[in-house]
Structure 1
Amino acid sequence: MPDQQNQGKPSYAGSLSILTSLFFIWGFITCLNDILIPHLKAVFTLSYTQAMLIQFCFFTAYFLMSVPSGYLVEKIDYKGGIIVGLAIAGCGCLLFYPAAGLHSYPLFLGAFFVLASGITLLQVSANPYVTVLGDPHTASSRLTLTQAFNSLGTTLAPYFGALFILSNAVKSAEEIKLLDAEQLSAYQTAEAAAVQNPYLGLAAVLFFMAAVFAMLKLPKINQQAEAGDAHEEGGSAWQYSHLVLGAVAIFVYVGGEVSIGSFLVNFLGEPDIAGLAEQDAGKYVSFYWGGAMVGRFIGSAVMQKIHPGKVLAFNALAAAGLVLATMLGSGTLAMLTILAVGLCNSIMFPTIFSLALTGLGSHTGQGSGILCAAIVGGAVLPLLQGAFADHIGIQHAFFIPFLCYLYIAYYGYRCRQL
C-alpha cells in the first residue's frame, strides 16, 4: 500500500496543480458580478431588487444545471465535463458583447445564466475530482487548498473590475436627459465598451483553457463504493442526513457570502459608513475576498491538526459576530467588520462540501450534484436581501447573512465527529 500511494502522489500533484487554474478562473469571473451590479444598477437605473436579478440569474443556473451536469459528467467523465464547461462559459462571456452594444438588461441576464451554466459544469466536475485525488482523510484540507486559488481570483477580480468597468462615472437619469443625440450615443458606446472588452478577453482565456485541457492527460478515476459502504447497494445520497443538512449549509453559505459581496460597493458608498466613490469602493471589495484567500491557506494547514467540523463552527460564529457588529456600528468600524467576514468565510465552502460527502461511497457523484444545486442560495438570498434593503436600508438587511452563519455554526458542531 505505501508503495502504491507513493506512485500515485506525483501524478495527483501534477493534476491538482492544473486543476487549481480552473478554481482561479471561475473565482475571477464570479466575483466580477460584484463590480457589474453597481455598474448596471446605475446604467439602467435599477432598484436593489432589480439589480440582484443578476445574482438570481447567475446562481439559478446552479440549481437548474447541476443535475444535468452530473449526468453529463457520468457520460463524458471529469475531463470531458471540464472541457465542455469551459466552452459554455466562453460562449456566455461572448454574449456580453451584444448585451452591452444593444443596451439590453434582459440580454445581460441571459448572458449571466449561460456563463454560470458553464461554471456549474466546471464545479460539478472539478470539486469531487479534487476530493478523490488522494487520501480521503485529507480531502477537506486538499479542497480548501485548491479553493484558496479560487479566492486569489475573487481577490484580483474586484480590483481589475474597478479599474476597467467602473473607471467611467455613470451619469444619473437626469444628466442623461440633458445629452443631445450625439452625446448620448458617445456615452452609451463608452459604457458598453467598459463591459465588452473585459469579457471578450475572458472568453479568449476560457476557449484557450478548453483547448489546453483537451490536450492534457489527466488520471481517470473510477468512483467506487468505499469499503465501509460496500453493503450499501441501491438507495440514494438523500438517505445521509449529514449530506442533506450539508446541502442546506451550502445554500445559506453561498447565499450569505454572495449577499455581502453584492452589496459591498453600495454599502461602502453610504455617507455614514465610508462615503466612497464606486471605483474606490470596488477596490476595497478585494480585501473581502482577499481575506478568504489568506484564510484558506491557513485553514488548509490548521485542518491537518484540528477536525474540520470544529474549525467550521468557530469560523461561522466569528462571522456572525462580525456581521452583527456591522449592523450595529457605523463609519470605519462597520467597514472593517464587514470586510473581515471574508477571512471567516475562507474555509466554509470546501469544508462543508467535503464533510457532506464523507462516507457516501458510490453515492458521491449524486451527492456532489445535490451540493452544487444548493449553490442556488446565491440566487435566492441576495434577491431577498435586496428586497429588504429597498425597505429597511442596506445595513439592517445584513441580518440575512447573520442568520446564515448561525446555521453553519450548528452544522459544523454537528459534524465534529464525522
Structure 2
Amino acid sequence: MSKPTNRFAVVLITALFFLWGFALNMNPILIPHLKKACQLSDVQSAFIDSASYIAYFLMAIPAGLFMKRYGYKAGITLGLLLFAGGAFLFYPAADSLQFSLFLIALFVIASGLTLLETAANPYITVLGDPETGTQRLNFAQSFNGLAAFLAPLAGGQFILSGKNLSVADKQAMSADQLQAYLKEEASSVQVPFLLIGGFVLLVALLISRTPLPIISDEDDSPSASQESILTEKNLITGVIAQFFYVGAQVCVSSFFIRFVSQAANITEKPAAKLLSIALLAFMVGRFFGTFLMRFIAPPRLLALYSLLNIGLLAIAVTGHGQVPVYALIGVEFFMSIMFPTIFALSIRGLGSKTKLGSSLVIMAIAGGAFFPVIMGRVSDLTTMQTAYLVPACCFLPILYFAVKNFTVKNVTLTASH
C-alpha cells in the first residue's frame, strides 16, 4: 500500500472513533428529549441507554464471528450500514411517536458500533509503522473524546427546544394541541439523524473503496487453556469492576441534564452546555491521569479516584444550588482513567488467554444497560438528585478491585470508552 493511501486509510479509521463517540454521547440529549416527546417516566427514559449498551453484550460475539469469517473490512462496512440504518429509523419513529421504534433504532445503531469498535483498534495499529501503533491508537482515541464534547453541544442546539410544559400546562391544552406539541418536539430529531445517517453512508462508501490491510487472527491460544478462563480471579473481579464502572459512567452522564434541571433549576439548553463542559473535563482528565501515572501506580490512582468520586457524589446528592453541578463535573474528570485502567489491570498476565479475557471485559459494557434503569426507578420513587446514590455505590466494587491490585506498579493503557 502506498503512503498516501495509507494516510487516507488512517483518516477513515480515525473517523470511526469520532462517529461512535458522537453516537453514544447523544444519549444524554435523547433521554430528556424523548422523555418529554413520548411522555415517559425516568425509568422508561433509561431504556434509551439499555437499548444501546445491551447491544454491546448481545452483539460482541456475533461481531467477532462475522469478522473472523469475512474480515475486518467487511465488519466495518456492515457496522456503518447498521449505524446509518438505525439513524434513518429515527424519522419514522418521530412521525409515529412510538418509543419502541426509537429503542429499535438505538439498538441497530449500537449493533453497528459494536462492529466498528471491534475492528477499529486493531486496524489503526497496523496502518503504518508498528513502532508507532500505540501512538496512532491514542491519537485516534482523542477524536472519541472530541466527539463526546461536541455531541451535547450539537444535540442541545439542534434537538432540545428548551420548552418544558408543566402537568398543568398539558392539562390546559386540547388533545389536538397536546399532540401537535409532542409531534413538534419529536420531529426535531429527524433532520439531525438523517444528516448523521447520510454522513455515515458516505464513510461506508469510502471504506468499501479504500484498500485496507488484511489482519490475520492467529489462534495462539490452546482450547484447553481457554476453558479455564473463569479460574482467573483477577480477570473476573476486573469484569465485575468494569460492569459497575460503565454503569456509573452512563448514569452520571445520561441523567446529567435532568439532574441539573432539578438540583440547580437550570433549563435544558444551558444544561446541555454544562454537560459538554463536563465531558471536556473527562477528556482533560484522561491526559492528566495518564501524566500522574508516571508518579503514582495505576491501581493506587484508581483507588484514589474511586474515593474522590464517592465523596463528590455524596456532595451532589446532598448539596444545593450550583455546588452539586460542580461536583458532577468533578466526577466526570475523575472517571476519565477508569475504563482503560480497569481493562489493562484485568487482562494483565493472561498470556494466551488475553484475547478471550479482553472480550469478557468488553462485554462488561452491558453495565450501561442495567444501572440507568435502576437509577430511573429510584428517581421516579424519590428525586433525580437522590438517584445519584446509584452511581456512588457503583464505585465501591471499583475501589475493591483497585486495592486488590496494589502490588502492580505499571500497566499499558490501550483501551478507552
Query: Which bracket does the TM-score occupy, shorter chain normalised?
Result: 0.7 to 0.9
- The equivalent position to 1:238 in structure 2, one of 222, 230, 244, is 230
Aligned partners of 2:307 and 2:399 also within 8 Å? yes
1:255 aligns with 2:247: yes
User: Which range moved further: 390-399 or 47-56?
Assistant: 390-399
1:207 aligns to 2:197 (yes or no):
no
After superposition, residues 16-31 of structure 1 pair within 5 angstroms as 18-31=12-25
3-state SS, counterpart of residue 169 of structure 1: coil
Identify if the C-alpha distance between structure 1 residues 217 and 294 changes in structure 2 by more than 3 Å, giving closer, same or farther: farther
Note closer, same or farther for the CA distance 1:79–1:242 as it changes in structure 2 (3 Å cut). farther
Partner of 1:286: 276
The amino acid that maps onto 1:238 is L
1:97 Cα deviation (Å)? 0.6
Equivalent pair of 2:162/2:267 in contact (CA under 8 Å)? no
For 1:386, the equivalent position in structure 2 comes to: 376
- 1:135 CA displacement: 8.1
2-side partners of 1:324 and 1:276: how far apart? 20
Q: Does 1:95 align with 2:89?
A: yes
- In structure 1, what residue type is equivalent to 2:404? R
* Residues 269-284 of structure 1 mapped to structure 2, 5 A cutoff: 269-270=261-262, 273-284=263-274
State how far apart, in whole Å, the 2-side matches of 1:199 and 1:22 are.
17
Moved more, 199-208 or 315-324: 315-324
What is the distance in 1 between the residues matched to 2:352 and 2:143?
29
Please tell me whether residue 159 in structure 1 is matched to residue 184 in structure 2: no
Q: Deviations over 1:8-48 (max 9, x none)?
A: xx999987665432222111111111011111111222111
Q: 1:267 aligns with which of 250, 259, 262?
A: 259
- For structure 1, the residue ranges without an aligned partner over 5 or more in a row are 1-9
The C-alpha deviation readout for 1:368-400, integer Å capped at 9, x for no partner, is: 332222111111101001111112322222121
Give the CA deviation at 1:347: 1.5
Contact 2:300–2:403 (Cα < 8 Å) also in 1: yes
The 1:351/1:84 distance shift into structure 2, 3 A limit, reads farther
Q: Is residue 193 of structure 1 aligned with residue 166 of structure 2?
A: no
Which residue matches 1:57? Answer: 51
CA contact 1:265–1:285 (8 Å) conserved in 2: yes
Selected match of 1:112 from 94, 106, 109: 106
Q: 1:362 to 1:131 in 2, by over 3 A?
A: farther
Does residue 72 of structure 2 align to residue 74 of structure 1? no
Q: CA deviation at 1:238?
A: 3.1
Match of 1:343 among 333, 348, 351: 333
With over 3 angstroms needed to count, the CA separation of the structure-2 counterparts of 1:14 and 1:370, relative to structure 1, is farther
CA distance in 2, matches of 1:371, 1:312: 17
State the alpha-carbon separation in 1 of the partners of residues 227 and 259 from structure 2: 47
Measured against aligned partners, the alpha-carbon deviations of 1:64-105 in whole angstroms (never above 9, x if no partner) come to 111212222222333332222121111111111100011111
CA deviation after TM superposition for structure 1 residue 330, in Å? 1.6
Q: What percentage of residue pairs aligned between the two structures are identical?
A: 38
Whole-angstrom distance in 2 between the partners of 1:79 and 1:410? 40
* Structure 2 CA distance for partners of 1:389 and 1:177, relative to 1, 3 Å: closer
Write out per-residue CA displacement over residues 246-292 of structure 1, whole angstroms, 9 at most, x where no aligned residue: 2112211110011111221111112xx31111111121111221111
- Please give the secondary structure, in 2, of the residue aligned with 1:395: helix
Shift of 1:245: 1.8
Q: Is the 8 A contact 1:268 1:274 kept in 2?
A: yes
How far apart, in 2, do the equivalents of 1:276 and 1:62 lie? 33
Amino acid paired to 1:89? F
| 1:28–1:231 CA distance, 2 compared to 1 (3 A) | closer
C-alpha distance in 2, partners of 1:11/1:295? 34
How many pairs align? 405
Letter paired with 2:42: Y
Alignment of 1:122 onto 2:112: no
TM-fit CA distance, 1:317: 2.3
Q: What amino acid does structure 1 have at the position aligned with 2:34?
A: L
The answer to whether the 8 Å contact 1:274/1:331 transfers is yes
Give the conservation status (yes or no) of the 8 Å contact 2:13–2:123. no
- In the other structure, the counterpart of 2:415 is none
Match of 1:357 among 347, 357, 370: 347
Matched residue type, 1:245? T
Deviation at 1:178, TM superposition (A): 4.9
State the TM-score, normalizing by the size of structure 2. Answer: 0.86
Q: Is the Cα contact below 8 Å between 2:37 and 2:182 reproduced in 1?
A: no
Q: Residue type matched to 2:77 in 1?
A: I
Does residue 37 (structure 1) correspond to residue 27 (structure 2)? The answer is no
Q: Does 1:309 find its partner at 2:309?
A: no
Partner of 2:414: none
TM-score normalised by the chain length of structure 1: 0.85
**What is the alpha-carbon distance in structure 1 between the residues aligned to residue 76 and residue 402 of structure 2?**
30
Instruction: Tell me the alpha carbon deviations over residues 323-362 of structure 1, each in whole angstroms, 9 at most, x when there is no partner.
Output: 1221232212111011111111111112222332334344
1:145 and 1:300 in contact (8 A); partners too: no
Worse-superposed segment, 127-136 or 162-171: 127-136
Contact 1:128 1:365 (8 Å CA) reproduced: no
